[in-house]
Structures are given as structure tokens and as C-alpha cells.
Amino acid sequence: MSLGLQVWSSSQSPHSIMQGTAMVLGLPQSRCTARCRRMGGAFGGKTTRSVVPAAAVAVAANKLKRQVCYLSVTPSVVPVAAALACGY
């Protein structure tokens, strides 16, 4: 039995990451943990854009039963969406 899912994300909203991953996997939120490094800067992309990629990576990690990493950068090479790692 899996203990749950841990997601590392560059988001300013770890609660949204936790809710999104729990919802797509059908897990209670208590079984999903979102870890985010301290982030500064303006609100916006780091608050909302990382939920969908985090959920997609969580589904992949759940299916593969292993850690999955995803890195997304804008054309100007500025990280926007997330650097995500999910693991069991």
C-alpha cells in the first residue's frame, strides 16, 4: 500500500498543488504532500500555472510507480510553470 504522493513544485500555492494532485488521483488530500521552495517575486504564473503540470506528473508517477520529473521554461528561459518531481 502506498503511503501517498509527494510533489516538489516551484509554485507559490502548495495548497493548490496538493488539491489538484489529490483530485486527479482520487486520493484524500491527507495522502498528498506539496513541497515548495521559498519563492519571491510577483504573483500570477507561479500561483496558478503549475497545478495542471503537477497533476499530469502525479498521474505519470502513479502509473509508473516511480519518480517522475518535469521541467518547463518559457522561450526566454525563465522558469514559469514548474520544476516538478513526484515520487512514491
- What would the mean pLDDT of 14-32 be, rounded to a whole number? 91
The b-or-e profile of 16-28 (16+ CB within 10 A means b, else e) is bbbbbbbebbebe
What are the sequence ranges of the domains in the chain?
5-87
Phi, psi of 9 (to 5 degrees): -145, 150
Instruction: Say which amino acid occupies 82.
Output: A
- What would the mean pLDDT of 37-59 be, rounded to a whole number? 75
Closest among 74, 27, 21, 67 to 46, alpha carbons compared: 74
* Percent of the chain residues past pLDDT 90, beyond the cut: 19
Question: Looking at residue 77, what is its pLDDT?
Answer: 45
CATH number of 5-87: 3.30.365.10
Indicate whether 85 pLDDT > 50: yes
Q: Coil, helix or strand for 86? A: strand
